[in-house]
Amino acid sequence: MTRQRTMSAPRIKGLILVPLLLFLDVQVKGQSGRRAPSRESRSASDITPATDGSASAPRVSGEKGNHKLEQRVTLLVARQLTSKHLASEITIYASFIKRLNEFTNVGGTSIGDVKRQQAILRAREETQSFVVFLLFEIDNFQEGRLVLNSPDLEVKYFIFAPGTGELKTKGKVYYQAIGGAKMRKDNWPNGPPIKITVEAAGIETAERVHDWLLVAAMPQPQK
């Protein structure tokens, strides 16, 4: 009869520890091959914009995209109303002032009713502030026709430089009342834009002034 050998307790423990150590060695090598998480990697919760007004929330300004002034610009705004002093003129002017002050680094202050020459003289007295002159005119002639008692307006704007009173730019926006003749056709961008609400006419005029400020603030190429 073959005698069966019995394994001692130390031998049994050794047989158990060998595969265990091999397993642990594989785990340690696998861990050593991993890279530490980068600081730049963020979870979805980290990049979600905050909505509670905190610093991580996106800033909402009045501009489209990243178009905003880097330095503060102050505008003195004057106006010359028509002889009829239509309510639409007052509202367009108020809408214009409001929209100007919504832009980053733009401050618009009304200096009241003046004539064009007075606006130029005021600009010459200024050292930093541009003077914006809004001229309201009744749009009586449309598409070659005379429109009697027209509620439509031409909103003309002029920007005069401080110190010199030099005319820097000018333009106009048409306000076409809903109850008006509606004979004028919108040829934008090949012509002045037409707006059918007073608020939109004021906003459009302010945005065109702001567009000029952005261009004027660009660094000029050296000659």
Q: What is the pLDDT of residues 171-185, one digit of tens each?
A: 999 999 987 777 788
Q: Residue 208 has what pLDDT?
A: 97
From residue 141, alpha-carbon distances to 71, 147, 177, 192, 205 in Å are 41, 6, 14, 15, 21
Q: Give me the phi and psi of 80, to 5 degrees please.
A: -135, 110
> What's the predicted TM-score (pTM) here?
0.69
What residues in the chain have per-residue pLDDT under 50? 1-6, 10, 12-13, 15-24, 26-62
Q: What is the pLDDT of residues 73-82, one digit of tens each?
A: 999 999 999 9
Q: Residue 178 has what pLDDT?
A: 85
Residues contacting 139, CB < 8 A, separation 6+: 147, 150, 152, 153, 154, 174, 175, 176, 184
Q: Residue 184 has what pLDDT?
A: 83
Q: Residue 21 has what pLDDT?
A: 44
Q: Residue 64 has what pLDDT?
A: 57
For residue 169, what are its two tokens? 């730019």
Q: Residue 30 has what pLDDT?
A: 45
CATH classification number, 73-216, choose in 3.30.1560, 3.40.50, 1.10.150, 1.10.3470: 3.40.50
